[in-house]
Chains A and B, each alone.
Chain A
Amino acid sequence: MKPHILPPEPMTNEAITSRLTNTVIDNINKGLIKKKNLVYLELNGCSGNIISLLNGQNPDFEYTLNSMVNIRYCNSLMASEGEQAIEKLMNTLDEDYILAVEGAVALRNNGLYNVIGSWQGKPLTGLQAATMFGEKASHILAVGACATHGGVSAAKPNPSQSVGLQKVLPQKKMIKLPGCPVHPDWFLGTLAHLLLYGEPETDNMDRPLMFYSSLIHDRCPRRPFFDRGIFAEKLGDKTCLFKLGCRGPVTRVDCPTRQWNGHVNWPIGDDTPCIGCAQFGFPDAMAPFISYDTTKVVKNE
């Protein structure tokens, strides 16, 4: 039998993602793998995903991204602006690139509800960019709730007629990273896996299993309260938040162990229910986010 040393290496989620990204950077530096181009499109959304990515760590996000890939276009991070920026974007069309898209695709008025720049004097719509770059990308990452299924942008009444990226690229295989916003580790970890080993294993909804396999409920530190039927009656209570409308029992992602803002805390750790932001159908299908007039502990009915 093999000798076992315990623990062999840190097995925290944080350590696993940082190992992935560090291995990519090491292998690139040693010339074992080649850097790929990355096109990061921000379409119809709040740009929350790119803001969330600024929380990426070990080392910092910008360094990680720059040493893992060549960012060819990203309107929040690139120095160029105006047509110059769009020209850089267009130049990548002839190259090999990975496409990451955040934000939904607005369909209304032929996409004119979401213009991301202008090209040769004409407005370039998110719809045009998504289809043009989606068709030619070697891999596609749909980043965040809006890109994966429409998210907040497609919430009722959806005046811009926003849809998820898959709707405009029905034939293309893509990796979906739902979440509002996406956790930096989910994006950087998936990107690193893509560079090192190709596409990660995904579930039937195209979510990488390494981040989206367990239910929040199954890893919730308040699970013993649920199992014993002890429920919070108001925000701030330390017991199970189920009766207030917690969506942890239907949301598949690793927030309880990964945590946010540099692995510091997460909603339930701060006494507010999970609103199911990483679940398909968020936000409409996850509403109401909080209810005070719900079933109490059941008395003799």
Chain B
Amino acid sequence: MQNIELLRLQMNNLVTQARQDIYTLSTQDDSSVKQQLLQRLWDTQSSIHFISELLANQAISNLYVTPLQQLTPVNSRNTNQLQIPPITPSPTLPSQQANQRTFTIEELANYDGKNGRAAYIAVDGIVYDVTNNRAWAAASHFGLTAGKDYTGEFASCHAGQQSILATLPVVGRLN
């Protein structure tokens, strides 16, 4: 029953956070701060919704409560973790020792994100992992499919936006 207690604690914290934000919002004039507060309030209420769904599911099934670590991403290595992890902007893979690996274009084509395979793309000779990248749902992005070299496409659509690449896990180089 420890997990239900933890969820309850988490829920109470979120409610407290939301109350505090509503209060701050009512006394706030700066529109940029307001915007941030609204965003946090939105996230808080999404999390409350999430936890209430968890609790409701557990109440319905009335079975052994699934330990929380099983609900965290499989790539999360910390199996002893008992608390819900903090919300991060996007799930990213742990950087692997393979990030010095070299790929031929044929090898790269195997990582097309189909049937459980990872989704990789190459830009300027570097191979990136887009498996869990939010803009690559179903391993495709604006008509492009994973497993290919998109140096030209990146330059034509995201010229000067190297920051996009900086957020992607590097898995190796393209030969």
Give me the interface of A with B, judged by CB distance under 8 Å: 1-2, 4, 6, 217-221, 223-230, 238, 242-247, 249-250, 273, 281, 284-288, 290-291, 293-299, 301
Contacts and interface: CB of A to CB of B under 8 A. Distances in A.
B45 to A, nearest CB: 9
A220 B115 CA distance: 26
Contacts of A2: 29
A31 B50 CA distance: 50
Given A221-B49, A224-B47, A285-B143, A243 B138 contact: yes
Interface residues of B, number: 47
B8 interface: no
B144 to A, nearest CB: 9
A245 B87 contact: no
Contacts of A246: 137
Given A217-B134, A250-B142, A281-B143, A296 B88 contact: no
A4 B26 contact: yes
Nearest to A299: B74
Interface in B4-28: 22, 25-27
A285 B53 CA distance: 34
B102 interface: no
Contacts of A297: 73-75
B124 interface: no
B134 A249 contact: yes
A298 B143 contact: no
Contacts of A298: 74-75, 93, 118, 131-132
A229 B75 contact: yes
B119 interface: yes
